[in-house]
Chain A
Amino acid sequence: MTARTDRRDQPARKWRSSVGILRVLLYAVGLVPAAATFAMGLANRLGPDPVNVFERTLGLWAIRFLILSLCVTPLRELTGVSLLRYRRALGLLAFWYALFHVTVYVGLDQGFDGAVLLADITRRPFVIMGMAAFLIVTVLAATSNAWSIRRLGRRWRAVHRMVYLAGLCAAVHFILSFKLLRAEPLLYAVVMALLLLYRLLPDAIRRRRLAQR
């Protein structure tokens, strides 16, 4: 065992540092849609309702990254391809986009109008769903560091299972943001539902592939 590790020491270190580079790259690429849309807005290129377009684009990317982060486990269990190293980055990107989305809603869209915001957040299921998803991913982002993982121990997994609830709330929030049932949010909801239902499968089925290796 030791001999093998020794022999592989060099490439392993290289691999580890390339993981780091890839992770930084993932953050950089992941934030491109936000930066590009913001730049287009500043240049007045988002059409006649720029705030609305910006707000929706940010929300859409939040849900996309949430879905990607939820794909990591099934992908690993079903195909053996492990992107576990990038899961936290994907989750954090979902959080950043959710934060941008909420910031634009509160600031640019509603102009920090406390009365309207309070009414929205307390009375409207559409907004409540979105806010619930945002609060959950905020908690998950805040406890995603190594210190929290150590500190929370066994409870960390339980806390981070709340991501399933966040995914559900986000999908419903997206559907409700249109006047009619629309194909795009439905498609996202179906993908989200499949990813959540997968978690309900018995371990025997889920880990068959891993056990074979």
Chain B
Amino acid sequence: MSIFRYPRPSASEITPRSAWLSRRGLLATGLAGAIVPPGLMRPAPARAAALAARPDAQFGGGLTPTPFQDVTHYNNFYEFGLEKTDPAERSGGFHPHPWTVRVDGLVANPRTYDIDALLARPLQERLYRMRCVEAWSMVIPWIGFPLAELLKEVEPLGSAKYVAFESVVRPSEMPGQDGVLPVLDWPYVEGLRLDEALHPLTILAVGLYGQTLPNQNGAPIRLVVPWKYGFKGVKSVVRIRLTDTRPPTSWNLRAPDEYGFYANVNPEVDHPRWSQATERPIGARGGFFGAARKPTLPFNGYGEQVASLYAGMNLRRDF
């Protein structure tokens, strides 16, 4: 069937100019890198490949993306270490290829997807807000596809109520899984209610800023649920399982009074140790005085699309 196809601009046309500039800047300041402490400035891994995607103008209107350098060099990925700079510095030995994602559980048609097949799908670029439970935030141009696409292909059974996600366990390639002090139980596990997982905002990301996902951001495939705290976005996913009971989630297992199953961004429900009313935007240039806090929005600004999922629920109890 022959239908109109959207024009598909190349990645170089989509990637914001600031990203290219920041990457050029990195090359130019290679010498400066020798005197700047490691971690503050480090080039992205060389294996990143350009990734074509259709920009989805429906999302991200009016948002300014966080610089590429900060998105890829300041994040939590405890499998590689506890510091924000660890993922970028210590993920070089991780091999995101070859890779498969198993989707099974309460489905009629369980399948194993190869990452190359997933990368060959029609991909969308979406500019999403990302709010960390630690009260900092970013705006990230993800490339991916709705999780609902995969879920529909495996045909969930009527009994399926939840979706459980499992991250990879590779202590030999992930130094954070090999530490002395207890961190989290591996694998990192997460979960969504089926209706949350099927929501059009929920995507599996395979890239950002016009290229495949860097190792430190959850290569080769990760979950992005923009109205929830960042820790719900399980990285380097190897298994997606549909279940009839609520699946355990890593942070909830570690500290149930601090991290709930839902973890919807909510300025009115504070973390026991800090307020969630405001957030520090990352990478707002200008040093100390450039990064003023800003108010955190209910459902991270996606309330119009997702608030109905939680109608009648007590979000203070089901945090």
A residues neighboring B (CB under 8 Å): 41-52, 54, 108-111, 113, 115-116, 119-120, 123-127, 176, 178-183
Contact A181 B270 (CB under 8 A): no
Contact A116 B277 (CB under 8 A): yes
Contact B40 A50 (CB under 8 A): no
Q: With A124-B272, A124-B274 given, is the CB distance from A182 to B288 under 8 Å? A: no
Q: With A41-B288, A44-B286, A180-B82 given, is the CB distance from A49 to B136 under 8 Å? A: yes
Contact A50 B278 (CB under 8 A): no
Q: With A109-B293, A110-B293, A120-B275 given, is the CB distance from A45 to B285 under 8 Å? A: no
The A-contacting residues of B in range 259-314, CB under 8 angstroms, are 270, 272-275, 277-278, 280, 282-283, 285-289, 291-293
- B291 to A, closest residue via Cβ: A51
Contact A124 B273 (CB under 8 A): yes
Contact B182 A50 (CB under 8 A): no
Given A52-B280, A127-B273, A183-B181; 5 other pairs, CB 8 A cutoff: A48-B74, A109-B293, A124-B272, A127-B274, A180-B184
Contact A45 B275 (CB under 8 A): no
How long is the Cα–Cα vector from A116 to B74 in the complex, in angstroms? 26
> Which chain B residues border A182 with CB–CB below 8 Å?
82, 181
- A40 to B, closest residue via Cβ: B287
Contact B275 A43 (CB under 8 A): no
Contact B293 A49 (CB under 8 A): no
Contact B293 A47 (CB under 8 A): no
Task: Tell me whether B173 is interfacial, beta carbon within 8 Å.
Answer: no
How long is the Cα–Cα vector from A176 to B84 in the complex, in angstroms? 18
Contact B288 A48 (CB under 8 A): no
Contact B84 A51 (CB under 8 A): no
How long is the Cα–Cα vector from A116 to B276 in the complex, in angstroms? 9
Contact B74 A49 (CB under 8 A): yes
Number of A-B pairs, beta carbon distance below 8 Å: 83
B residues neighboring A (CB under 8 Å): 36, 39-40, 66-67, 69-70, 73-74, 82, 84-85, 134, 136, 180-184, 254-255, 258, 270, 272-275, 277-278, 280, 282-283, 285-289, 291-293
Max chain B Cβ within 10 angstroms of own Cβ: one of A49, A125, A178, A183: A49
How long is the Cα–Cα vector from A50 to B275 in the complex, in angstroms? 19
How long is the Cα–Cα vector from A41 to B288 in the complex, in angstroms? 6
> Which chain B residues border A115 with CB–CB below 8 Å?
277
Contact A47 B40 (CB under 8 A): yes
- A108 to B, closest residue via Cβ: B288
Contact A111 B275 (CB under 8 A): no
Q: With A116-B275, A126-B274 given, is the CB distance from A49 to B280 under 8 Å? A: yes
How long is the Cα–Cα vector from A120 to B277 in the complex, in angstroms? 11
B118–chain A nearest beta-carbon distance, Å: 30
> Which chain A residues border B270 with CB–CB below 8 Å?
119, 123
Contact B287 A41 (CB under 8 A): yes
How long is the Cα–Cα vector from A72 to B258 in the complex, in angstroms? 39
Q: With A179-B134, A181-B181 given, is the CB distance from A116 to B278 under 8 Å? A: yes
